[in-house]
Amino acid sequence: MGTFHFSTRSLKNLSGVHPNLIAVVGLALAQSHVDFTVVEGLRDMETQRKNVASGVSQTMNSKHLKQSDGFGHAVDLYPYFDGSVQVHAPEEDFKAIDCAMQAAADTLGVHITWGGSWKSFVDMPHFQYEGVK
């Protein structure tokens, strides 16, 4: 507990993300048993168009895009171990991140949704901000 801290990469990728979601990610990282990296946060329209075209994303309504409040409302978190980001990490590692994220969200009174719980398009690294409780 409390052994993990944001890498430069994670800090850069949190730029433009809603402050409440940044707070959840920060607390989750401090309490998580699995180290993780923020691989993506705010995404521009051009990148989203490419993602939809390639099938990586399914919608142009992505919460990664700048929302009406001026912030991105989604982050993609990947386990980090053995010196690198683990894109193909076991599902348990993503679930561990979800546990830390939900606990942090509860503590901070914030609603989040995990893409790993979606039925049609399971998106394990994806977390999005849904507002305050």
Pick the piece of the chain touching Zn ion (CB under 5 A) from 14-22, 27-35, 72-80, 89-97: 72-80
Q: Strand, coil or helix: what is 4?
A: coil
**Choices 13-21, 74-82, 91-99, 104-112 (CB under 5 A): range interacting with Zn ion:** 74-82
User: Are the C-beta atoms of residues 100 and 109 closer than 8 Å to each other?
Assistant: no
Query: Given the complex with Zn ion, which of 4 and 123 has the nearer CB atom?
Result: 123
* Pick 30 or 65: Cβ nearer Zn ion: 65
Dihedral over alpha carbons 76, 50, 8, 107 (to 10 degrees): -20
Residue labelled with tokens 């509860």: 106
- Binding flag, residue 76, Zn ion (CB under 5 A): yes
Of the ranges 1-9, 19-27, 76-84, 96-104, which one interacts with Zn ion (CB under 5 A)?
Answer: 76-84
Quote the CA–CA distance of 127 and 77 in Å, as a whole number: 8
User: What is the closest distance, in whole angstroms, from the C-beta atom of residue 123 to Zn ion in the complex?
Assistant: 6
Among 18, 43, 73, 126, binds Zn ion (CB under 5 A): 126
Q: Is residue 18 near Zn ion by the rule CB under 5 A?
A: no
Answer for the pair 10, 53: CB distance below 8 angstroms, yes or no.
no
- Those residues with Cβ within 8 angstroms of residue 99's Cβ, 6 or more apart along the chain or in another chain: none
| Residues making contact with Zn ion (CB under 5 A) | 74, 76, 126
